[in-house]
Structure 1
Amino acid sequence: MPTDIVFTGESELQHIAPGRNVMQFDNVPKRGSMGFIVFKDDRPHLLSNMHVLGWSYLPHQHVIIDKPININARPDINSMVNNELRPVAYFRSGVIDHRIDAAIALIPEQLFDLINERHDIFSIQDPLIFPPQPINIPIPVRMLGAVSGFKNSAIVSVTASKTFNYPFGPQTIVSIIALHPCCSQPGDSGSPVYEPESGRIVGIIIGRDQNLQYSFVIPFPTIQTAFDLP
């Protein structure tokens, strides 16, 4: 039957979305995943890891706040869509320290129509907050990664610590969330993690352990504090 409705995949229409691949410039070997779409100064920003959005800065600096943005230049944060590099955002701020590995990038107005915040699966309005105490019963969560897609796991600790190796040297990050079983692969860094039943968000993936038993998450409240997000 003839029709005037054309079905087009999300990869064509809305490539700025949680769980899609993202990288600084054309750095495909170090690409990760888009995290949540967050708002700062009432403008949409992409959230991911600093080691994803700001990889080229890491040999020399690992704390950058409000980097000047030239909106007339091509965005430095991109996504690979159907083997073509597509613009996403401008790097704004990023931090790696003892509590966090995260960065935000400003999405320019001309790309607003390409944003899909994935309200169908989660909301950033009421993030889960955990007191620093043992988890007696694992809490089911779900990750959405650019490599792994949807993966189920469970929170087994909210007071974990892990040392990660960066271009500037090793950094131990504390008070992070441990998930078991391991649900992430290389390329899933920055992926959103949320509670599937309620849609409440937990944070973003930072990495995994060498034995592939655990994935680790930066809690969203830590990110809110670092970047003064509502």
Structure 2
Amino acid sequence: MRVLLVEDDEILGDAVKTHVHRQGHAVDWALSRDEAEASLAAATYDLVLLDLRLPDGSGLDILNALRARRCEMPVIIMTAHDQVSDRIAGLNAGADDYLVKPVDLGELQARIHAVSRRYGTHKLPALTVKDLSIYPSERRVAGADGAEIQLSSREWAVLDRLIARKRAIVSKGQIEEALYAFGAEVESNTVEVYVSRLRRKLGKDAIETVRGVGYRISSDAN
């Protein structure tokens, strides 16, 4: 997933960014409301981790703006505001979950997994690609013999992008968005490397190349 972290506390922000990145997600970190809004305008995110008290405004304003645009992007609030009224305000504004600081990183990861199961590719039913069975909600792939095929977090990031647009072509840039945060050094052959790894594990015909355009999951997928 590509995650936007909105947090002005540099110590906490660095810890959260590092932890989430180690789980295989691309993380952009905004330290203010203005930076967060600029990031949301420039990229597509799978999840927002949102602090409420920012130096130039309230995180609730960001959340309200997203929901006013009918954007269903999942949002987890992380804040020192521990009053019940604050939690109610955040949830009523459209937050999917709420964590009170200090944030336990293990619990944060569990909450991210829980929210992700309700959105995006994790809402998709199982699909078959030739002899493979793919279960997005469980992040599991089984071969013809039923044995599980292990994929890394980044391999899942690529596969998620492809199965989310099962009948469409996904450009190299769209796949890079799932793998890299702003400012990260993008190697020219990264997408090709991960597509090659997936083909070795899933079969060479599982992912089709549309030369000069991008990639798509096999047209046999159903």
TM superposition score normalised by structure 2: 0.25
More contact order relative to length (CA 8 Å, sep ≥ 6): 1
Give 1 or 2: higher helix fraction.
Answer: 2
- TM-score of the superposed pair, with normalisation by structure 1: 0.25
Larger Rg: 2
